[in-house]
Structure 1
Amino acid sequence: MKKRNVDLVCDIAELISLEEVGRDRRELLQKVVTSVAKHMMADVCSIYIYDEEEKVLTLRATQGLEPAAIGTVKLQLGEGITGRAVRELRPICVGSASQSSSYKFFPGIHEEEYEAFLTVPILRGLRRIGALVVQARDANYFTPNDVKALRAIAAQLATMIENVQLLSGARVEAEAEPQPVRRTLSENILRGRSASTGTARGKAYTLASGHAESCLLPDPESNGHTVADFELAIEKTAQQIEKLQRQTSEELADVAVLIFSAHLLILEDDQFTGRISNLIRTGTPGVKAIATVVDEYVEVFSKSKMPLIREKVLDVKDLGNRLTRNLLNETDEECDYRGQIIIAHELLPSDILKLSAENVEGFIISSGVTSHNAIICRSLGIPMVALARELADGIPDGEALLMDAEQGIVYLKPSDEVYAKYRELDAAWKVLHDAADVKEETRAKCGERVHIYANINLLSDLKPARKFKAEGVGLYRSEFPFIVRNDFPPEDEQYVIYKKLVDQMEGKTVTFRTLDIGGDKMLSYYSNVNEANPFLGMRAIRFSLRNKDIFCQQLRAFLRAGAEGNTRIMFPLVSSVDDFINARTIVYECMDELEAEGIPFSRETQLGVMMELPSAVEVVDELAAEADFLSIGSNDLIQYMLAVDRTNEQVSSLYLAHHPAILRAINRIVSAAMTLGKDVSICGDLSADPRMLPFLLGVGLRNFSIDIVNAPTVQRMVNNIAIKDAEEMADAMLDLGRISQIEAFLLERNLAPAAEA
């Protein structure tokens, strides 16, 4: 009888799925080890949980060993075969355990009866969670396929186990912070900064970080509800969340991996729902009981030193809101955020996805806008405006708002005239961005061909990319499936995402950018998240080269996805020719591995460089000679050339795309590529800037990767530009050495730079 590893992975996924998991997590671990032992035809399967403070692994579930060993068998980090695997963050497969120098004997649990030993660490990113172990009587029993299967199961277990640990570890007393004092605003028009364009209408809903009362909970004095009523509310809430998770997983398959899992974990927590039940049982009105317990959890979570705990604040507030509405039998079946504009000091990417799934109208943020949050909002079509903290804090809950996220303006209690004006503007915007006006080919006034590609952030961007006739994907930002997860997605999971992207582009060019984290795009589960200066730290290609295992998994997934497609790979934040050659060498190693394993891929996959750093500009001739193509990442190029953090409101006015140093750097990059006959493109905000488009065409750029909804506008602009005129304009601008001179030049041609936010 053959081992059924594929069935095993599917069965474990079903065991852990939100629909099937019971409330006893210890029982779940026991079910997992039983299922693994059965499918792998192993005599023993065990799960160890790691205590980070004590540096100890404790046996928590086993099938095959003495049950009394549970909770008593402990291993120091590095002790025994299992402790060594967890310390070294790698699987260890031993044909004969008794002959291994790392073997640790425990009397009385009968482990010595089993020779074959396979252990896989359970990891969340690079953080140790525990270990999954299988053993068999026969020596050399386990195969490389068994290792792969066990790694897949360990990845599925990691998030569930850690969430349980976080929730249990967070129950500590915390002193309540005073509620922020709200100021009465003296005007009805608030001016901020645009982060994601569009207009939104709705009522203000503040996601403050302090107390549950800031959730839109109804009157806490409502009475007459029994414990039975509350249990029905729990059941209805669970059904809603499970439905929401399924729906989100279908619509946002690449980034929606169990983003509502914390909701159900909290709902299943007896100390949460049980405490509410006890309050109701002793006479506290149901709604007030929910508010009291939610408030306690919010205080504890928000004051935690652990970022992973603080991330649960929104989850517990949302859960309290749903429980209350369901207890009151409100007619709104979905209990979502339609008609609401969320005001928050800060939001996580996963928060944005959750609130998007619950039909939020828009966001007002009162901290610096991170680039990944802005990009996600743009992809989801949700307007976002950044306001000063004192302005955002002064907006009363329930206040009628209209957001003009194009200009960064928020209207309080907008008049009928304001509403009428924005209805007209919305209609005009639809005309300007009508996909029906986009032609299959883009040509300048003189007939020269220009290519427009799409920036893809989420798989949901593929629909507008096809609608607006994108000629391919000029930039796929691969970090988003990493940012919103609780762990590094494994190779097979990445492959599924990338393959969908390639398949849906139907043979058109797809350019994958390798993982670009760091700066303001941090992974909460990466151990080095608190760098002194993250924009100059372990980010982008530096992270990938330092973490070769993670890099190789992504590269292998890229190569596999492009086996029958037209794909390219480019490396971000390259600072030297050596960076590129080191990355290219690893790609070739991955190709050799895939070939040896008989896995299809394309040896013709082109490898390119994102030009974003001053040091790269200085060696652009050498980079152009080595790389297959160059891509100008305009956002970071401007940021690093000018030493301006574009997310810092204090200096954002110095972030100038028309700075003479930027113009000359772009010209130098394009010239180097053209001299060697290499393809060169531009992406970032500058690529769709109508003020700078003539200059970009004038220096020789013909490939533009843009947020594809801007395609109609960009195409119309290109149609009205003669290349000869653009070249003359570019030559004139390159001769100017002052910002003021360039601004005056553009003003003369009715292309004056807009005021920077």
Structure 2
Amino acid sequence: MMKGIAASPGIAIGKAFVLPHWEWEPADVPIDVADLAYELERLSEGVKTARRELENIRREMAEVLGEAESTIFDAHLAILEDPVFLNEIQELICRGAKKAEAAVKEAVDKFVAMFDLLDDEYMKERALDVKDVGTRLLRSLLGVRDEALPPKDRPYILVGRELTPSQLAHLDTGRLLGIVTQLGGVHSHVAIVARALNIPYVFGLESDQLESVETGDWIVVDGDEGVVVVRPDADVIERYRQRKMSKEDHFRKLMSVARLPSVTRDGHAVRIEANISSFRELDDALRFGASGVGLLRSEFLYMNRSYFPDEEEQTRVYRLIAEKLAGRPLVIRTLDIGGDKQLDYFPLPKEENPSLGYRAIRIMLDRTDLFKTQLRAILRANAYGDIRILYPMVATVDDVRRANRLLDECRLELEREGEEFDPDVRVGVMIELPAAAVIADLLAKEVDFFSIGTNDLVQYVLAVDRMNEQIAHLYDPYHPAVLRLLKLTADGAKKAGIPVSVCGEMAGDPLALPIWYAIGIEGLSMSVRSLLPVKHRLRESRREGAELLFEKLCAAVSSEQVRSLLLEWAWSQQVGEGGAYGAAR
């Protein structure tokens, strides 16, 4: 048994195909000055060839994954055409008197080393993209064909030192059961695609462990636990097969509610919507019965590239999502960068406490050019669906008014330019700061809806960084103070007559359902994987008695007491028609 890192969940059982590892080391032989122009021309032709290949792969992947997901290869095209990258190679050719392929290898190694020095794991994993582009360019210059591909007549589990997006694009993903690599990352493009295609993926194994695997070996990949078993005996295979079947049976049971309304046993309806960070997630969200997208994290359009997406690209992607939703609501959170979300092409000043610093709406109200580009794109895409705008990290009424003034400017500009757009877009505020919750009644007069972001709200209320291992245990959404702020927010919305929903992780916890019933939450937006479990529990529960329970929750002195009361309520739903709380009206 080998222990690695889980990057994509699920269990795969099958025969291994070991992907050969190709690496080229240049001979350190300087070229004659007379050959410099020839080498520069070779580089130019190599870049053109690599660009054509990447554009073809992008088109092919768009058919498999969808247009938005195929933008992974826009990042690769951006690297290939990056003037800093190309200038480095040209300098090495001219000043270092190197052949084009030797210059490419040296430049790639330099940039990979730079990424490896970064603290941010997401940015470190971009080194894989640089290596992928560099390898493609090297192959183009050297005339080397791609590695041997797996057999097309049977399913397989791919095993290799690393797997790049370009290599993945050449595989028959319909036969790809699982992936095992030495190098990789949870945020890597391969991991993103694996999760999108529901392919179990484990990385982080030692090289000597992988060297023991041969093509044709039986192998088990446990993408839930990050475990790989090579040449398992019959008992191990049977145990994993039973576990896989059990998971599939449970999934089928949950899928039975996908097309049913999200209504409690006593007739109380709550919208169940999805939080998504990519176009691909939308397929599963709709398959699992989401009634819309309650949170589109628009950052996915800005990541994995070296420049900001323009208005046309944003309009196209938002339109694609809106059209696929076919009239269901799409809530787009405006760009929320800063803190732990950084763009390498838009460096922000280093801060002692970035979570409390320059981020989200604070940046966008300063960089009105970026903000208006996104707002214009949303207004244009709104002509093809029901799109709403959500402002993140709002702390004051002035934040909302300034943002809405910019939105009005965009409406006037688009009308003056004769662009097709729908001006009637609803605007909401993300309640994720304690300040916003406390003045919810004032903010509610400025917007059309609220969406409570419990992740940051809990963090700020309790002054706990949940990424800090020493104090992460103090992060608790069931703290009585959090519950009181949730009620304050809901009351502010109710007073102004606007709807309020929840879009943080707490929305995806079935234990919290009676809280939402009690305070009048109309919609819950959650990760795609939480849609079915929450809907299943909701349909088995009753709203009756929730207000009485909530009074007890707010009077509790600890999170433990709150959880105990919620568990008691959940048990009462299973053993009786509303149990003790239903009978105590």
Query: Does structure 2 retain, via aligned residues, the 8 Å contact 1:443–1:719?
Result: yes
Out of 702-711 and 626-635, give the one that drifted further: 702-711
Out of 464-473 and 413-422, give the one that drifted further: 413-422
Tell me which of 100, 121, 131 is aligned to 1:316: 131
Q: Which amino acid aligns with 1:675?
A: K
Q: Determine the C-alpha separation between the residues in 2 that align with 1:557 and 1:301.
A: 34
Q: Determine the C-alpha separation between the residues in 1 that align with 2:160 and 2:432.
A: 34
Tell me which of 242, 245, 259 is aligned to 1:427: 245
What's the offset of the Cα at 1:197? 4.0
Tell me which of 355, 378, 382 is aligned to 1:558: 378
Cα pair distance change 1:442/1:273, threshold 3 Å = farther
DSSP 3-state at the match of 2:330: strand
2:32 alignment partner in structure 1: none
DSSP 3-state at the match of 2:501: strand
2:434 matched to 1:614? yes
What's the offset of the Cα at 1:651? 3.5
What's the offset of the Cα at 1:558? 0.5
1:332 alignment partner in structure 2: 149
What's the offset of the Cα at 1:705? 1.3
Tell me which of 49, 53, 76 is aligned to 1:260: 76
1:283 alignment partner in structure 2: none
For residues 178-577 of structure 1, the aligned pairs below 5 Å read 188=1, 190=3, 197-199=9-11, 216-217=21-22, 241-250=54-63, 251-254=65-68, 255-256=71-72, 258-261=74-77, 296-297=106-107, 299-304=109-114, 311-312=126-127, 314-316=129-131, 320=135, 323=139, 327=144, 330-332=147-149, 339-340=157-158, 357=169, 361=178, 379=196, 381=198, 396-398=209-211, 404-406=222-224, 408-411=225-228, 413=230, 415-416=232-233, 417-434=235-252, 435=255, 437-528=257-348, 530-577=350-397
DSSP 3-state at the match of 1:248: helix
Query: Does structure 1 retain, via aligned residues, the 8 Å contact 2:220–2:232?
Result: no
Q: Determine the C-alpha separation between the residues in 1 that align with 2:220 and 2:463.
A: 35
Cα pair distance change 1:219/1:560, threshold 3 Å = closer
Normalised to the residue count of structure 2, the TM-score between the two structures is 0.74
Q: Determine the C-alpha separation between the residues in 1 that align with 2:124 and 2:187.
A: 21
Normalised to the residue count of structure 1, the TM-score between the two structures is 0.59
Query: Does structure 2 retain, via aligned residues, the 8 Å contact 1:371–1:520?
Result: no
Query: Does structure 2 retain, via aligned residues, the 8 Å contact 1:249–1:257?
Result: no
State the Cα deviation string for residues 74-122 of structure 1 (Å, max 9, x = none): xxxxxxxxxxxxxxxxxxxxxxxxxxxxxxxxxxxxxxxxxxxxxxxxx
What's the offset of the Cα at 1:569? 0.8
Cα pair distance change 1:264/1:438, threshold 3 Å = same
Query: Does structure 1 retain, via aligned residues, the 8 Å contact 2:319–2:384?
Result: no
Query: Does structure 2 retain, via aligned residues, the 8 Å contact 1:442–1:719?
Result: yes
Query: Does structure 2 retain, via aligned residues, the 8 Å contact 1:399–1:412?
Result: no
1:633 alignment partner in structure 2: 453
2:527 matched to 1:707? yes
Cα pair distance change 1:707/1:619, threshold 3 Å = same
Q: Determine the C-alpha separation between the residues in 2 that align with 1:462 and 1:536.
A: 32
* Larger proportion of helix: 2
Q: Determine the C-alpha separation between the residues in 2 that align with 1:533 and 1:427.
A: 47
Cα pair distance change 1:698/1:200, threshold 3 Å = farther
DSSP 3-state at the match of 1:447: coil
State the Cα deviation string for residues 424-457 of structure 1 (Å, max 9, x = none): 3333333443445422421101122221122232
Q: Determine the C-alpha separation between the residues in 2 that align with 1:491 and 1:603.
A: 16
Q: Determine the C-alpha separation between the residues in 1 that align with 2:208 and 2:504.
A: 33
2:559 matched to 1:739? yes
Cα pair distance change 1:311/1:464, threshold 3 Å = closer
Q: Determine the C-alpha separation between the residues in 2 that align with 1:678 and 1:419.
A: 54
1:138 alignment partner in structure 2: none
**Alignment RMSD (CA, Å):** 4.8
DSSP 3-state at the match of 2:265: coil
Q: Which amino acid aligns with 1:577?
A: V
Query: Does structure 2 retain, via aligned residues, the 8 Å contact 1:298–1:313?
Result: no
State the Cα deviation string for residues 255-306 of structure 1 (Å, max 9, x = none): 33523326766899689999xxx99xxxxxxxxx99x988755542234489
Tell me which of 490, 506, 510 is aligned to 1:670: 490
Query: Does structure 2 retain, via aligned residues, the 8 Å contact 1:352–1:377?
Result: no
Query: Does structure 2 retain, via aligned residues, the 8 Å contact 1:682–1:701?
Result: yes
Query: Does structure 2 retain, via aligned residues, the 8 Å contact 1:203–1:341?
Result: no
Q: Which amino acid aligns with 2:59?
A: R
DSSP 3-state at the match of 2:506: helix
Cα pair distance change 1:546/1:246, threshold 3 Å = same
DSSP 3-state at the match of 1:476: strand
What's the offset of the Cα at 1:670? 1.8
Q: Determine the C-alpha separation between the residues in 2 that align with 1:600 and 1:317.
A: 40
1:682 alignment partner in structure 2: 502
Query: Does structure 1 retain, via aligned residues, the 8 Å contact 2:294–2:331?
Result: yes
Structure with larger RCO (C-alpha < 8 A, sep 6+): 2
Q: Determine the C-alpha separation between the residues in 1 that align with 2:21 and 2:435.
A: 51
Q: Number of matched residues?
A: 524
Cα pair distance change 1:648/1:343, threshold 3 Å = farther
Q: Which amino acid aligns with 1:421?
A: R
Out of 701-710 and 358-367, give the one that drifted further: 358-367
Cα pair distance change 1:202/1:610, threshold 3 Å = farther
Q: Determine the C-alpha separation between the residues in 2 that align with 1:415 and 1:503.
A: 47
DSSP 3-state at the match of 2:511: coil
For structure 2, the residue ranges without an aligned partner over 5 or more in a row are 26-42, 214-218, 572-585
DSSP 3-state at the match of 1:610: strand
What's the offset of the Cα at 1:628? 0.9
What's the offset of the Cα at 1:385? 7.5
Cα pair distance change 1:317/1:606, threshold 3 Å = closer
What's the offset of the Cα at 1:701? 1.9
What's the offset of the Cα at 1:633? 1.3
Q: Determine the C-alpha separation between the residues in 2 that align with 1:310 and 1:372.
A: 9
Q: Determine the C-alpha separation between the residues in 2 that align with 1:549 and 1:568.
A: 20
What's the offset of the Cα at 1:525? 0.5
Cα pair distance change 1:300/1:375, threshold 3 Å = closer
Cα pair distance change 1:600/1:460, threshold 3 Å = same
What's the offset of the Cα at 1:382? 5.7
Cα pair distance change 1:529/1:500, threshold 3 Å = farther
Query: Does structure 1 retain, via aligned residues, the 8 Å contact 2:21–2:160?
Result: no
Cα pair distance change 1:674/1:215, threshold 3 Å = farther
What's the offset of the Cα at 1:323? 4.4
Q: Determine the C-alpha separation between the residues in 1 that align with 2:189 and 2:133.
A: 23
Cα pair distance change 1:669/1:385, threshold 3 Å = farther
Identity %: 32
Q: Determine the C-alpha separation between the residues in 1 that align with 2:475 and 2:290.
A: 29
Query: Does structure 2 retain, via aligned residues, the 8 Å contact 1:620–1:669?
Result: yes
What's the offset of the Cα at 1:689? 1.2
DSSP 3-state at the match of 1:427: helix
What's the offset of the Cα at 1:396? 3.6
Out of 521-530 and 544-553, give the one that drifted further: 521-530
